Structure formats: structure tokens, C-alpha cells
Amino acid sequence: MTRGSRYISSARSWLFVPGHRPDRFAKAAASGADLVIIDLEDAVAAEDKERARVSAAAWLAQGNDAVVRINPPGTPWFQSDLAEAARQGCPVMVPKAEDPAVLTEVAARVAGRCELVPLIETAAGVERAWEVCATVGVARAAFGNVDLAGQLGVAWDDHTALTYARSKLVSASAAAGICPPVDGVTTAVKDAAVLHEDVLHARRLGFTGKLCIHPAQVEAVSRGFAPSEAELEWARTVVAAGDSVTAVDGRMVDKPVLERARRLLGQTHDSHPAR
């Protein structure tokens, strides 16, 4: 098991922190986020890339857990980023994930030391989502709504415009046998109502976690993706009724319904990192 890997499947809130700001690493770790992502890519200017990699390595070498978002394949920093992540044995978020052959090469380079989280944020990545998710070494996929929206020429916060891509990623994850994906960011950092609507929409489509860009978003995201008390009560009633029951409260209960009830109850026992 790689460092931090046991949290990959159950993590609801994933908080980005810029790799060139090590002064923020401890604050991010104390935010309550299920996972911290040290970002070596978008949040870091070219002149700060080397310093960000060194800072991330130092933080991980102290025994801290984090996912590292490396720079994309084909960039000048990719090889060094990946080599450092492999040395640290941390989960790796791979941006611009769209080619299963490239992901296979990445998996071979880390030799089982790092679980992979492909960030699907291009049209090609969406259309090849099943192949990406089915690549050996992939633990969970994440959705890059901002970059994809830019390529498509739509607004990154337009639920309707990005529903196809989101649903495709949810379906691809299920078809590949990996856990449900992580939704993209909400850029309206100070608008709690927008964040709430984004979480509800993502949950409705089948996502079970979300990327955060500010510590203020963490609590709402973690709470929003947790089963509600009403859902848990329904699940307890279904499970308590037993395998042979065909209806509960006037609604049909068959194997898929029973399995969903058990999954909901199981989410209350997920292991998350210490806060």
C-alpha cells in the first residue's frame, strides 16, 4: 500500500495547495480535508517549478501524507516530478490525462509505489475515459472542469454544458471497476450557495468527492458528500429487512437496491486521515 493510498477511495474533500508555498502545507493539512494535493502544475510559475518540487519532497520526507499533482507529460518538469514522487511513494495526480499508453508508462515508472489519479480535463480524455480509468495503476479519476470548459468554449460553472463529460467519467469509472470519481473545482470561493449547488449536482450524477481550492470549502464539501441521516435511515431499514424482502415502505427492494443500502452504510465507516 502506498503512502496515503488507503484514503484515495474514501476521500471526499481534496484540497489543493501551491507547491512553492510550503508555509501553507501545514495549514492545508490541518484544514480537515481528507486529502491534500501539493500542486506542482497550474499554481506554480515556471521559475518556481524546481523550488516547488523540492518543497513537496521535504514535506513528504518528514512523514506527511499528500497527493502530488505533477506537471503533464511532455513538459520540461515531468520526468523530475515523477521521479521524485516515485522516491516518496505518494499518490500522483496526472494532469491532461487522455492517453492510456502514457499512463501505462507512468505506472511502469513508479513500479507500484504510487497510485495514479488521472485528471481528465480535455475532450480527448473524456472520450477515452473508460480506457484511462481501466489503465493498471489508476485508483480514482478526477474531473478538470475549468480546462475542459476552456477547450469546449463553455463556462466552467455551467452544469448543463458539462453534464455529458461528468456523466461519462462516472460511467467510465464504474465500467473500469474503480471507485466513483472526484468532481472539479468551484471557483466562487466565497459563495457558499454556489458551492452547495455544485456539490448537490455532482452527487446527483454519481461523484463522491470534490476538488477544493480554499480551506473554507472543505467542511461543506466533506459534509455534502456524506450520506444524509435520511439516506442512512433508509439504508438501515432496507438492510434490516433482510435479503428475502421484496418491498420496503411500498417500494421494490432487489439486489441492486440492497447493495446501494450497504454501500451507504459503509460510507459511515470509511477511514480518513487524522485531522
pLDDT score, position 177: 96
Q: What is the C-alpha to C-alpha distance for residues 45 and 4, in angstroms, rounded to an integer?
A: 27
* 177 Cβ contact partners less than 8 Å away, ≥ 6 residues apart: 134
Fold of 5-226: TIM Barrel (3.20.20)
Q: What is the C-alpha to C-alpha distance for residues 149 and 156, in angstroms, rounded to an integer?
A: 5
Residue 210: exposed, middle, or buried by beta-carbon count in 10 A (0-12, 13-18, 19+)? Answer: buried
- pLDDT bucket at 250, cuts 50 / 70 / 90: low
Q: What is the pLDDT of residues 186-198, one digit of tens each?
A: 999 989 999 999 9
Q: What is the mean pLDDT of the chain?
A: 89
If you search the block for the grid coordinates 484511462, which residue do you land on? 132
**Comma-separated ranges of CATH 3.20.20.60 domains in the chain:** 5-226
Q: What is the C-alpha to C-alpha distance for residues 207 and 243, in angstroms, rounded to an integer?
A: 27
Model confidence, pTM: 0.85
- pLDDT bucket at 7, cuts 50 / 70 / 90: confident
**Residue 94: CA atoms inside 13 Å, Cβ hemisphere, count?**
29
Q: Is there a contact between 207 and 224 (Cβ–Cβ < 8 Å)?
A: no
pLDDT exceeds cutoff 50 at 68? yes
The cell for 78 is 515531468
- pLDDT bucket at 226, cuts 50 / 70 / 90: confident
Q: Is there a contact between 156 and 134 (Cβ–Cβ < 8 Å)?
A: no
Q: What is the C-alpha to C-alpha distance for residues 214 and 221, in angstroms, rounded to an integer?
A: 11
Radius of gyration (Cα) for the chain, nearest Å? 19
- pLDDT bucket at 172, cuts 50 / 70 / 90: very high
Q: What is the C-alpha to C-alpha distance for residues 133 and 236, in angstroms, rounded to an integer?
A: 32
pLDDT exceeds cutoff 70 at 74? yes
- The residue count of the chain comes to 275
Weakest-pLDDT range from 55-69, 210-224, 237-251: 237-251
Looking at the chain, the whole-number percentage of residues with pLDDT higher than 90 is: 78
Average pLDDT over residues 194-222: 97
pLDDT exceeds cutoff 80 at 159? yes
Using CA atoms, how far residue 13 sits from 2, 48, 130, 131, in Å, is 19, 26, 24, 25
pLDDT score, position 15: 98
